[in-house]
Amino acid sequence: MTTTELIPSPSRYFIWTIGCQMNVADSERLESALLQLGLQSTERPQNADVIVLNSCVVRQSAEDKVVGMLTSLKPLKGSRPDRVVALMGCMVGPKSDALRQRFPYVDVFMRPQQYKPLLELLGDRMGIDAEGCLSTLVPPRASVTAFIPIIHGCDKFCTFCIIPYRRGREKSRPIPDIVREAELLAVRGVKEVTLLGQNVDSYGNDLPGNGDLADLLTAVSEVDGLRRVRFLTSHPNDMDQRIIDAVASLDRVCEHVNLPFQAGDDGVLTAMRRGYTTDEYRRLVDRIRATVPRVSMATDLIVGFPGESEAAFQRSVDMLEEVRFDKVHAAAYSDRPGTIAARRMEDSVPAEEKRRRMKVIESVQERIATGINAGLLNTTQEVLVERREKGKWRGRNRNDKLVFFEDARDLQGETVNVRIERTSPWSLQGDVVD
Ligand code: SF4
């Protein structure tokens, strides 16, 4: 008997995703492959023949959730051994021996974007050449916005970060590939694309003659049907004037920059191996604001990095007060095994103190965002309408601010002008004006 006669062909899949937008994009592409193979999605892992966990280990809390999910799958696999369980994403390193020992009931281990092992296993069970059956992998469900990964991996090796060890060195996709994907998405009704990378500003460095992020922004913003283009995440050392000028000059590129500063103290930045000083960061922000009027700024920040003193932490707070970011993604430092910081530095700031510092950051940022958003009261904002949420339309303005409004018409995918009547630190509310 052959394998295909012994085991029923899989027909339903369940994908669980945690982590950054790159993981969301990877899951969407895997889902597209599974749909092309004829499988259907199910909401419950109990009903699935194929269960995929797309994992994140950037923080301890994310890794704990993955381990919890994996543990909960053990009885499901026990009750139906033919069920396929796959672990994908940043939890899977180049060597998966330790994971295999810890989770022997997992059938397939796949690194980020490495769909092949699962597709081959499913192809065997279905008696087909799975990879040969697949066309371009784009998000399966038409929505107003979509992510397009443009560069995988990272060459920076910040001392706290596990990404380069899990996603590998930088690898850019050629401009024609990305433009083709953007065209396919636009035909399916997508109005806004976000170009994704761990360090999107170094796009193209590994592809001589391809062009850089500024060239790519120009090419994608010319795609018929697209109204907006965004990009994420930037690195202060690679954000050059060409990129800033592209944001300023291309109508469809939104005025929003996510520029992590990570720490407001030069000693901590050196220990993190970020490669810039706080003054260089400030000058870059000034240059962005001088070149791109009305730009909004977001940032990432770590509190409680090894050796971060109270004075050093205060300098991060000072940076928030000075720059006045629209949005701050703050995280408490946690040791990531394998990183330079975990190997060579003592995780010296107690957990309780990290929690206190997080609270300080949250409350300072809430006050700042309250003030910035209050300044938008009675202004008119151009909003791309994404979907309905709790009886209201939800969209974002060009500066990436969430906007809610009520309207009886079907406005999904439309760009409307909304007069802002109420503001909070997290969103804006208003009414459509002609
Ligand atoms: S730039 Fe630093 S923090 Fe960002 S992915 Fe690369 S190594 Fe990690």
Average pLDDT rounded to a whole number, residues 106-134: 83
Residues 6+ apart with CB under 8 A from 116: 110, 131
The reply to whether ligand 1 has any atom less than 6 angstroms from the CB of 156 is: yes
The dihedral of CA 347, 352, 353, 354: what is its sign?
positive
Mutate to test the pocket of ligand 1, among 235, 238, 299 (most ligand atoms within 8 A of CB): 235
Does position 2 have pLDDT exceeding 60, yes or no? no
DSSP code for 151: E
Residues 6+ apart with CB under 8 A from 19: 54, 55, 56, 58, 62, 89, 90
> Could you tell me which residues are beta bridge partners of residue 151?
172, 197
Q: Which long-range contacts (CB under 8 A, 24 or more apart) does 356-364 make?
A: 357/303, 357/304, 357/313, 357/332, 358/303, 358/330, 358/332, 360/313, 360/317, 361/301, 361/303, 361/316, 361/317, 361/320, 361/328, 361/330, 362/330, 364/317, 364/320, 364/321
CB 69 within 8 A of CB 22: no
To the nearest 10 degrees (0 to 180), the angle between helices 310-323 and 351-374 is 10
For the CA atoms of 160, 166, 170, 172, what is the dihedral angle to 10 degrees? -130
Instruction: Find where tokens 């992590």 sit.
Output: 260
User: Which pLDDT band holds residue 3 (cuts at 50, 70, 90)?
Assistant: very low
User: Which pLDDT band holds residue 136 (cuts at 50, 70, 90)?
Assistant: low
Residue 7 has a pLDDT of 60
Residue 401 has a pLDDT of 98
Residue 57 has a pLDDT of 87
Measure 36 CA to ligand 1 centroid, in angstroms. 34
Distance CA 251, CA 71 (A): 49
Residue 144 has a pLDDT of 95
Half-sphere exposure in the Cβ direction for 144 (13 Å, CA): 17
Measure 16 CA to ligand 1 centroid, in angstroms. 24
- What structural domains and CATH numbers belong to the chain? 3-133 (3.40.50.12160), 145-374 (3.80.30.20), 380-433 (2.40.50.140)
Does position 1 have pLDDT exceeding 50, yes or no? no
**What percentage of the chain reaches a pLDDT higher than 90?**
79
Q: What rounded mean pLDDT belongs to the chain?
A: 93
User: Which pLDDT band holds residue 5 (cuts at 50, 70, 90)?
Assistant: very low
> Could you tell me which residues are beta bridge partners of residue 385?
395
DSSP string, 18-52: -SSHHHHHHHHHHHHHHHHTT-EE-S-GGG-SEEE
Measure 296 CA to ligand 1 centroid, in angstroms. 22
Q: How far is CA 195 from CA 25, 56, 192, 260, in A?
A: 10, 20, 10, 17
Distance CA 159, CA 199 (A): 15
DSSP string, 345-389: S---S-HHHHHHHHHHHHHHHHHHHHHHHHTTTT-EEEEEEEEEE
- Backbone φ, ψ for residue 256 (5° rounding): -150, 130
In whole angstroms, what separates CA 292 from the centre of its chain?
A: 24
Distance CA 291, CA 387 (A): 32
In whole angstroms, what separates CA 191 from the centre of its chain?
A: 19
Distance CA 24, CA 232 (A): 14
The reply to whether ligand 1 has any atom less than 6 angstroms from the CB of 154 is: yes
Query: Model confidence over 194-252: pLDDT tens digits?
Result: 999 999 999 999 999 999 999 999 999 999 999 999 999 999 999 999 999 999 999 99
Measure 201 CA to ligand 1 centroid, in angstroms. 12
**What is the distance in angstroms between the CA of the first residue and the CA of the last residue of the chain?**
69
Instruction: Find where tokens 């990570």 sit.
Output: 262
Average pLDDT rounded to a whole number, residues 347-355: 97
Ligand 1 atom closest to the Cα of residue 235 is 1
Average pLDDT rounded to a whole number, residues 315-338: 96
Measure 85 CA to ligand 1 centroid, in angstroms. 30
CB 37 within 8 A of CB 119: yes
Does position 97 have pLDDT exceeding 90, yes or no? no
Mutate to test the pocket of ligand 1, among 56, 154, 234, 235 (most ligand atoms within 8 A of CB): 154
CB 56 within 8 A of CB 22: no
Residue 4 has a pLDDT of 42
Average pLDDT rounded to a whole number, residues 138-166: 89
Q: Which residue has the higher pLDDT, 358 or 33?
A: 358
Residue 53 has a pLDDT of 95
The reply to whether ligand 1 has any atom less than 6 angstroms from the CB of 164 is: yes
Winning range, highest mean pLDDT, from 22-26, 166-170, 186-190, 381-385: 381-385
User: Which pLDDT band holds residue 135 (cuts at 50, 70, 90)?
Assistant: low
Q: Which long-range contacts (CB under 8 A, 24 or more apart) does 283-287 make?
A: 284/236, 284/239, 284/259, 285/259, 285/323, 287/241, 287/244
Distance CA 42, CA 75 (A): 18
> What six digits make up the tokens of 285?
């922000």
Residue 6 has a pLDDT of 53
Name which of 54, 51, 38, 55 is nearest 79 in CA terms.
Answer: 51
Average pLDDT rounded to a whole number, residues 184-200: 94
Measure 273 CA to ligand 1 centroid, in angstroms. 10
For the CA atoms of 205, 207, 210, 214, what is the dihedral angle to 10 degrees? -20
Query: Model confidence over 395-428: pLDDT tens digits?
Result: 999 999 999 999 999 999 999 999 999 999 999 9
Residue 242 has a pLDDT of 97
Q: Which long-range contacts (CB under 8 A, 24 or more apart) does 278-281 make?
A: 278/315, 278/319, 280/236, 281/236, 281/319
**What percentage of the chain reaches a pLDDT higher than 70?**
95
> What six digits make up the tokens of 84?
């396929």
Measure 168 CA to ligand 1 centroid, in angstroms. 11
